[in-house]
Amino acid sequence: MKFPIYLDYHATTPVDPEVLQTMIPYFTEIFGNAASRNHEFGWTAEAAVEKARQQIAHFIGAHEKEIIFTSGATESNNLALMGVAEMYQEKGKHIITSPIEHKSILDTCHFLEKKGFSITYLKVDSYGQVSPESVRNAMTPQTILVSIMAANNEIGTINSIGEIGKVCKERSVLFHTDAVQAVGKIPLNVESMGVDLLSLTAHKIYGPKGIAALYVRRRNPRVRLTPLIYGGGHERGMRSGTLNVPGIVGMGKAVELAQKEMSEEVPRIQRLRDRLWEKIQENLDEVYLNGHPTDRLPNNLNVSFAYVEGESLMMGMKELAVSSGSACTSASLEPSYVLKHIGVGEDLAHTSIRFGLGRFTTQEEIDFAAEKVVCIVKKLRELSPLYEMVKEGVDLKTVSWAAH
Ligand SMILES: *Cc1c(COP(=O)(O)O)cnc(C)c1O
């Protein structure tokens, strides 16, 4: 085993060796600009780009002309929201989203609010799900866009995208979904799900960083977007700039692999995730699952450990590369906004750990991780007077200082 053990596949993934091999020639021999129309170098590059476009389109049930390449899902999300807002503002200035979207959605919404748009942040339930009914109820004649993520990057909860899509279709409101975490984990089809815009990114599915796509519906209805970037009219005018050919080729390959491996890989990873959760539950009490018990990504486990201190917990797990529910990097030490919105208290949010499994996770690693977590939590609890009192049956509500 190599240490630290990588269990942060929601943050990013390593490039699959097969993806890398496919990319390499496009840095050197096949270096042409895909927009060069007058010679072989350009044609070869363009052919490679178009192949990748088809691979990606095919995977989500789209037409290749509906795939726009961008620099990341952050850009895809910005383009979807800003592009629709700018293009359709005559029709209305109301957008519906959820408060637990990725920051690239939320920060864009905050910017649009400053520009005079009104944004509804729908309440999510205690699992982090958006009810299709709440989407319907929030709609007004001014609503131009609904943006709801397919699966959450922290707690792994999956939304009923098809149901939400149906509501949007009924009202002829455009529907965008950030499907970054869902791609390769659950089946996605823009037709059957009624999706008009969909964001995906390569580096979360074993492709390279810095390349992503936005699906933009071309028929029923034809979606038009005001670009964020001008200069040359690439990508049907929606995203100018010389294409990142090696990145695009890598993304195409990554999608091809995801499609090929999904039926075998997803159950394998899910078994490992379930094994980790079982081992934690068998050996520890006062542990809480965050997110939906079944409508969740197969590779996600998000758990709060009561009666330990968040920072000590992370410090004790240096051999595991995981994420915690408190943003230790920021000076403020704010707990996760996602956990806050699903009603997890501040204490439990600070002691939550996100385990993100992936293609290269082994059973040996999972068994080590489980043992490590159990061991450190037990050790920290031995130092916790609160935990001692709970074990002795003291009702903490009667202890005045316990709240602090
Ligand atoms: C990682 C992530 C993004 C951002 O993607 P980048 O390609 O890194 O810009 C957006 N949404 C979700 C849900 C993510 O997990």
Residue 249 has what pLDDT? 98
401: confidence class by pLDDT, cuts 50, 70, 90: low
pLDDT band for position 383 (cuts 50, 70, 90) = confident
Task: Average the pLDDT over 351-361 and give the result.
Answer: 98
User: What pLDDT sits at residue 384?
Assistant: 86
Q: What are phi and psi of 201, to 5 degrees?
A: -140, 150
User: How confident is residue 394, by pLDDT bands cut at 50, 70 and 90?
Assistant: confident
Which pTM value belongs to this model? 0.96
**pLDDT the model gives residue 302:** 98
Band of residue 404 on the pLDDT scale cut at 50, 70, 90: very low
Q: What's the confidence (pLDDT) of residue 400?
A: 57
Higher pLDDT, 174 or 391: 174
Least confident of 95-99, 234-238, 354-358: 234-238
Predicted confidence at residue 392, as pLDDT, reads 86
- Which of 155, 180, 299 has most ligand 1 atoms within 8 Å of CB, for mutation? 180
Nearest CA to ligand 1 atom 5: 73
Q: Which atom of ligand 1 is nearest to the CA of 77?
A: 10
pLDDT tens, 257-303?
A: 999 999 999 999 999 999 999 999 999 999 999 999 999 999 999 99
| Ligand 1 geometric centre to CA of 350 (Å) | 23
Mention the CATH class of domain 17-257.
alpha beta
47-101 residue pLDDT tens: 999 999 999 999 999 999 999 999 999 999 999 999 999 999 999 999 999 999 9
Phi, psi (5° rounding) for residue 335?
-70, 160
List the catalytic residues.
328
- What is the 3-state secondary structure of the chain? CCCCEECECCCCCCCCHHHHHHHHHHCCCCCCCCCCCCCHHHHHHHHHHHHHHHHHHHHCCCCHHHEEEECCHHHHHHHHHHHHHHHHCCCCCEEEECCCCCHHHHHHHHHHHHCCCEEEECCCCCCCCCCHHHHHHHCCCCEEEEECCCECCCCCEECCHHHHHHHHHHCCCEEEEECCCCCCCCCCCCCCCCCCEEEEEHHHCCCCCCCEEEEECCCCCCCCCCCCCCCCCCHHHCCCCCCCHHHHHHHHHHHHHHHHHHHHHHHHHHHHHHHHHHHHHHHCCCEEECCCCCCECCCEEEEEECCCCHHHHHHCCCCEECEECECCCCCCCCECHHHHHCCCCHHHHHCEEEEECCCCCCHHHHHHHHHHHHHHHHHHHHCCHHHHHHHCCCCHHHCHHHHC
Domains 5-9+262-386 and 17-257 share a fold: no
pLDDT digits (tens, 9 = 90+) for 146-178: 999 999 999 999 999 999 999 999 999 999 999
> Which whole number is the average pLDDT over 180-188?
98
Going from the Cα of 103 to the center of ligand 1, the distance in angstroms, rounded, reads 9
Å from CA of 8 to ligand 1 middle:
13
R_g (Cα) of the chain, nearest Å: 23
* Residue 393 confidence class, pLDDT cut points 50, 70, 90: confident
Asked if 335 and 326 count as a contact pair (C-beta separation under 8 A), the reply is yes
Alpha-carbon dihedral 321, 73, 154, 4, rounded to 10 degrees: 0
Mean pLDDT of the chain: 95
* Cβ < 6 A, ligand 1 pocket: 72-74, 102, 104, 149, 153, 178, 180-181, 201, 203-204, 212
- Would you say domain 5-9+262-386 falls under CATH 3.90.1150.10? yes
For residue 202, give the ligand 1 atom closest to its CA. 7
Q: Give 121's strand partners.
A: 97
Instruction: Show me where the domains of the chain are located.
Output: 5-9+262-386, 17-257
Give me the pLDDT at residue 331, please.
55
What is d(CA 105, CA 149) in angstroms, rounded to the nearest whole number? 9
For residue 391, name the pLDDT band (cuts at 50, 70, 90): confident
Tell me what pLDDT residue 243 has. 98
Atom of ligand 1 nearest to the CA of 74: 9
Average pLDDT over every residue of 10-22: 98
Residue 367 has pLDDT above 50, yes or no: yes
Is the pLDDT at 233 greater than 60, yes or no?
Answer: yes
The phi and psi torsions of 357 (rounded to 5 degrees) equal: -95, 165
Contact of 200 with 6, CB cutoff 8 Å: no
Q: So what's the pLDDT on residue 328?
A: 53
Dihedral (Cα; 177, 180, 182, 185), 10-degree rounding: 150
Which residue has a Cα nearest atom 14 of ligand 1?
A: 180
| pLDDT of amino acid 325 | 83
The pLDDT assigned to 403 comes to 45
Per-residue pLDDT tens for 44-54? Answer: 999 999 999 99
- Report CA(201)–ligand 1 centroid distance (Å): 7
